[in-house]
Structure formats: structure tokens, C-alpha cells
Chain A
């Protein structure tokens, strides 16, 4: 599995990536406590990709809904 230390200095496992409206979002789960999950989006600047927090709850709701739909589909 791939992991990364995010901006809260905790190590997260990369669970799933999903492209929504041409933006790639990633679902993470904390290594120490897998029930702690969060999302980041990938932004590109100067040809380098970065994980960045979401802008607001509207974006969060959209992303969580799309991940939920995707995971529901996969678990049918």
C-alpha cells in the first residue's frame, strides 16, 4: 500500500482515487486509526502535483457523494 504524511503530520494510506469534474480526488485513511478518513484533491503547479485540502462543504459533499456512489457500485 502507498502511504503519505499529510499536512496534519499523520501518516495516511491512499485508499482510492476518483476523477470528478476533471479533478482527481483521493480518499485517505490514517494508518494508526483507519476509521479516520479524509479527502484531498490533486492540484498541479509548475509541473508538480500536490495534495490540497478541499475548498468548502459543497465540494466535500460532492466528493463524498461520488465516492459513496462509486463504492456502492463496486460492492454490489
Chain B
């Protein structure tokens, strides 16, 4: 195959090539689904299928690596072939592999023997990859539905748990509700511009002078609401803590890391490619969405004592930080987003893995205070958890790359002609607030004595232990040597439609911007 010329997406065979990783994952998942159903449920079979799923993910990652290596490009079409897509895919696949590894241990302990669970995760992930690739509102919708339907089922996977049932029901109702907003918004945008392809939408908004069109702006507003629900941005976050608390822990990790990252990838691409011409109209809305999300997530998290709820609010707060990258609307913003998503995914996956390791059968011991004195009985687990907490807090060296992620977002916010320094101040001040709960977890583990009569947690199982160790080591290593990852994210901005060279991060968009609020 010759990638020197861009793939022509109007030719079906070339479109197929552009979709190769997605098709591979989806098709492979179908075959695995048949295999899963072939034999009776059992511990061994469950593990076999899980391992096969991870192998399939690795294969897909290799294919994506090949696309990155060959620097594939494509003409305009419903699918994007660019760096942004590939790196978002890698983040999603990483989160998926980690989730499946955790599920293999977790499902065995909780007596959930259905091997289809792993395959469902793969199907959700293929929807996510579609979201990362989508350059057409129809494909976005397709991706969102594929992802969501599978995730609704996953949230309720543990049929014996009433909390899981509640969680799944809530997730389903609110998911459907938010999709309706999104779809209505898309319909209005189509009505205003007559296009579903997002780069065409952007072009037409300029050509037809639609920047003040009420129809387009209403559509944009409705889509903000829809995506606000999907990424759990305040004030559309109310479902997240309940759903995260009730769902099986690996699935919670999956929702907090992968689902959020995928929805954000589509969110970012649509806003960067299609809605940049109407930037002045949505800028204030997203600005406030980011500020409120950071404030609400961090402040409410202070009062949480259930670890899963605490991490749920933490993930809301991080959605706020990611929204800052979106508000910026520059190449630096999308690079910061990818870097942040990568680091956040690892840290979130790791911290939920610790919750899996310490939760006893039936998900007891989820209160932070049950972790008291963990350091004296399971030192490595406590140290790993401290690394994840410090990474989420954004601390250098001991929190590894967590600091660099936050730094990248700050840099993006300040590296535009009119720096968003007020948003930057909100970001750092809410980060200080977040020290109140992240450090509380660390404090409890290291500084409180072990509760009398508390049982020593069993040694964590192999895969869970591996996920924890790998996440911690990866974070720390990236904390010393982030250059490779930074290079990978550079020049990945999905801005090609707007005549902006994506090569340099310091080039701002050639648009007049309103002064920072």
C-alpha cells in the first residue's frame, strides 16, 4: 500500500483501509462472541476469552502503530485519518486492555462467569474508536450509540447486585435523554448548514455567513448539553456518582477513563473543525462549563467517603480540566487534551485497580476509612495508590506525569493571543481544593493506624497486581521522560479543514477572538 498519496475516501476499498483498525476490532469481537457462546460458562473459559480479547487489542494497536509510522493521510470524507485519531485510539485501547484485565480477576471473585462481558467491552471500544475517527455527525451518532448500548449492559452486568441494576437503569435513562439532546442539536445544525460532514459544516458556516444564525447556535447549544451529559460536566453530572458507585468496579474505571475520553475526542473534533467559525458564540458557554465543572467536581468530592464516589467526582473535576483544553480552541489545546487523556487514563485505571484489589467479595470495604494503615500491611499497594492520587492531583516526580498533564493544559490556556489566565487561575485554585481529598486518601493509608479487627486484605491477584504496577511505573517513568509522548501528540490537531498548518503548536488560529472574560 502506498501512503504517499492520501487515501481517497470516496472509493469504498480505500475507505475500508482507513477503517481497518475499527473493522479489525469489531470483526474480531464478533468472532470472539461466537467463541464465547460456544462453550459453557466457567472460570477457565472466561479467562481464555479475556486473554483472546487482550490479544486482539494488541493486534489492533499494532495496526494503528503502522498507520502512525506510515503517516497515513486521507481526503475529506466521513472518516478522519490523522494523528489525533490514532493517538486517541491508543489511549482508548490502553484503557480497554486494562479494564479487561481487571474484569478477568474481578468477575471471577464476584462469581460473574459470563465470558461475553469481555467481548461487550470490545464492542463498546469499537464504538469509541469510531467516535475518535468520526468526521461526520452521522458517524458520531453511530459511535455514541455503539459505545453507549454496550456500556449500559456492562453497568448492569452483575445481575445479583441491586445497586448495579439501579446504576444501569439510571445510566440508560440519562444516556437516552442526553442522546436525544445531541441528536436534536445535530438535526438543527444540519438544518442550518445542510451538511453532516463536520468540515463542510465549518466551511458553510463561513461561506453562507451563518455565524449569527439562530438555528445553528441553538443546534450548537443543544449539542453542548448532549456532550455535557456524556462527559459528565457540571451541571450535567448528576448521574455520574450514582452510576459509578453501582457499576462493577472495572466497568467504573472503564466509564471514567475510556468512555469519557472517547466522548471528549468527538466533542473536541466537532468543535474544532465545525464550530470554530462560531467560536465567539460558544466560547462563553464552554468557559463557564469548564469553570463550574472544575469547581463543583472538586468541592463536592471533599465530602465523599466512599472511594468509588470520590473517584467519580474526581473524574468530573478532570472533565473540567479537559474542557479548558477545549475552550482554548488552538492546536496546543488538542495536544494538551491528548496528553492529558493519556495520563489521566493511566492514573484512573490504576486507582480503580487498587479499589478492585482491596474490595472483598461483594464489594465491601469501599470506604476510605477502611484503608486506614494500609501501608503497614500492604505497603506496595499503598505506595501505588499514593502515586495515583498524587498524579491525579498533578504533582511532579512522586505523581509522575500528572504534573506535566496539568502543565500542558495550563500552557495551552496561556499560549493564545489573549491568554485565558482567569481560567488558568480557576484551574490551579480548584486543584488546591482537590488536595483536600486526594491527600485525605494518602493520609488515611499512611498516617492512620490500622483499625482494630480489620482483616489484612488478601494479596491482589496476578492481573490486578500487574495493572497496578504497570500503571504506577508508567506514570513515574513518564514523569521523568515525557518527551516521547509530547512528540507523539505534537502536530495532532484536527484543524486541517481550517487552513491552519497543524505542524507547530504555537501558531494560533487566524481568527479574531473575544478578550478573555
A and B together in one complex: no
